[in-house]
Chains A and B, each alone.
Chain A
Amino acid sequence: MNAPLRRQVETPASARVGVLADPRGPDADAFRAKLGSAAKEAQWFAPRDADDLAREVDSGALQDLYFKDLRSLLDGVLEGVYNLRRWRAQGVRIEFLQPPESAADERRAAALDAILSGLSEAAREWHQVRRRRRATAGVLLGIVAVLAAAAVTLIPLAMR
């Protein structure tokens, strides 16, 4: 895709490829097909290991990144794991398995529009999900804490 995130630079032969996907997941074969011969040298990161991928990119070890779609990239951006500004400065290239539709027409404005609207939608959903997860985690941790506190109080009585 020719989205603004991708800089048109020559990729050195030694450039390393990173893929954010489970190598045994449902999209693995599609990624391998897209990567072609580069699949052999690609480094795979399960989505939960986005931090590790970011660390590798920040250190300059990875140059070409492959994501399933815009959403999977934005998840990391919104969680504060990926620093796209820094990556652009490093000349990191980003490719999607399923590029945003409007990016296919090569028009920068349309691609930017797609990214921004995707960003907006993803941010809204992400904050909703985050609030829900926080509340759920709070309730569950509260239950564990109350049960444990009861046990801490009662068990010494049984030991007398």
Chain B
Amino acid sequence: MTLNTPIATPGDSGETPAVAGDTLSRMTALLLLLAVPPIMWIGQTLLLRAAGFPARRRIGAHDLPEHLRVANRMVTQGAIVAALVVYPLLRGESPAAYYLRLLPPGRPVWAAWHGLAVALLFLAMIHLAWNIAGCVQFSVRQRRARIVRRLITTPFSALLGAGVEELLFRGVLLAGLLESFPRPAAVAVGAGCFAGAHYVREVKRYWTLPGHLMLGLCLCLAFVWTGSLWLPIGIHAGGILAILAARPFVRYAGPAWVTGASIFPFAGVVGIAALAILTASLRPWYGVGG
């Protein structure tokens, strides 16, 4: 059973690409995305200079004063929003019309709930297994008021985080790549860019990259199979929701190669395998010829 219409690509004979565009604009999406890190770096450098700090080679502001961190974050968000707005305009479409086409109303919306449920199911199952094995420890790790505040805001954070990332990486980048490359190549590049983007800023650990690659692959295939953003948004939001909601109660005792780390439980061997199985389990529902 196939629940949605898969997105068409240049390699699919007899099908019209779901997102049309002329040849010149075919690499626009990739170029726009690649422009974000330099903008972030220039923004950071200008902010550092203005505040009397030396410029840095890497993008990273975790050790800077709060006002600089906020300003830095605003530069990043501004660059992302600009990419989201500019891309449809360059194609001669209004942003609303472009993104609404990737978010069709009616039955396809259920795919978001389906993706969310699948993500919650898999995360609950692997945490259940880790709980039995003693790889995670559960306790109340924050003050009650903070936990309540966090639990209230988590659904909004999950929706916002998943929404923005899916619009950018699937709605702009992957949709653009699918117009220029065969589907496997577009998915591979899309997943690679998604994973790489999580390491543009200075981060604590880099060994989580394979987990991000697998997640990117899962979300890219979810988009390709359904032709809409609902399923990837649901999976992505479900993951963020579960991880953020569990954070005040979970300590990952490891080993790290099994459980991943902190906010990356999908980065260990178990998490990567779970993501692969999750992706495979979606194929009969949404994949071509399912």
Residues of A within 8 A of B (CB): 47-48, 51, 79-80, 129-130, 133-134, 136-138, 141-142, 144-145, 148-149, 151-152, 155-156, 158-160
Do B125 and A145 touch across chains, with their CB atoms under 8 A apart? yes
Residues facing A in B20-75 (CB within 8 A) are none
Do B138 and A156 touch across chains, with their CB atoms under 8 A apart? no
- Known contacts A48-B141, A141-B127; can you find 7 more A-B pairs with CB under 8 A? A133-B139, A142-B128, A145-B121, A145-B125, A151-B113, A151-B120, A155-B114
Do B113 and A137 touch across chains, with their CB atoms under 8 A apart? no
Do A137 and B110 touch across chains, with their CB atoms under 8 A apart? no
Do B110 and A159 touch across chains, with their CB atoms under 8 A apart? yes
Contact among A79, A142, A151, A160 with B137 in the assembled complex (CB-CB below 8 Å): A79
Contact among A138, A152, A160 with B118 in the assembled complex (CB-CB below 8 Å): A152
Which residues of chain A are near B113, meaning CB under 8 Å?
Answer: 151, 155
Do B124 and A145 touch across chains, with their CB atoms under 8 A apart? yes
Which residues of chain A are near B3, meaning CB under 8 Å?
Answer: 156, 159-160
Q: A144-B120, A148-B121 are in contact. Are A138 and B128 (CB under 8 A)?
A: yes
CB distance from B277 to the nearest CB of A (A): 13
CB distance from A45 to the nearest CB of B (A): 13
Do B124 and A133 touch across chains, with their CB atoms under 8 A apart? no
Which residues of chain A are near B142, meaning CB under 8 Å?
Answer: 48
CB distance from B108 to the nearest CB of A (A): 8
Which residues of chain B are near A48, meaning CB under 8 Å?
Answer: 141-142, 251
Interface 1/0s, chain B 138-178, versus A by CB < 8 A?
11011000000000000000000000000000000000000
Do A141 and B253 touch across chains, with their CB atoms under 8 A apart? no
Residues of B within 8 A of A (CB): 1, 3, 107-108, 110-111, 113-114, 117-118, 120-121, 124-125, 127-128, 131-132, 136-139, 141-142, 249, 251, 253, 285
A79 to B131 Cα, complex, angstroms? 15
Which residues of chain A are near B141, meaning CB under 8 Å?
Answer: 47-48
Q: A145-B121, A155-B117, A156-B1 are in contact. Are A130 and B137 (CB under 8 A)?
A: yes
Do B138 and A133 touch across chains, with their CB atoms under 8 A apart? yes
Do A159 and B117 touch across chains, with their CB atoms under 8 A apart? no
- Tell which of B114, B121, B137 has the most Cβ of chain A within 10 Å: B121
CB distance from B212 to the nearest CB of A (A): 22
Q: A133-B138, A133-B139 are in contact. Are A156 and B131 (CB under 8 A)?
A: no
Question: Taking CB as reference atom, which chain A residue is nearest B285?
Answer: A156
Q: A133-B137, A133-B139, A136-B138 are in contact. Are A141 and B114 (CB under 8 A)?
A: no
A141 to B120 Cα, complex, angstroms? 10
CB distance from B130 to the nearest CB of A (A): 9
Which residues of chain A are near B132, meaning CB under 8 Å?
Answer: 138
A145 to B130 Cα, complex, angstroms? 14
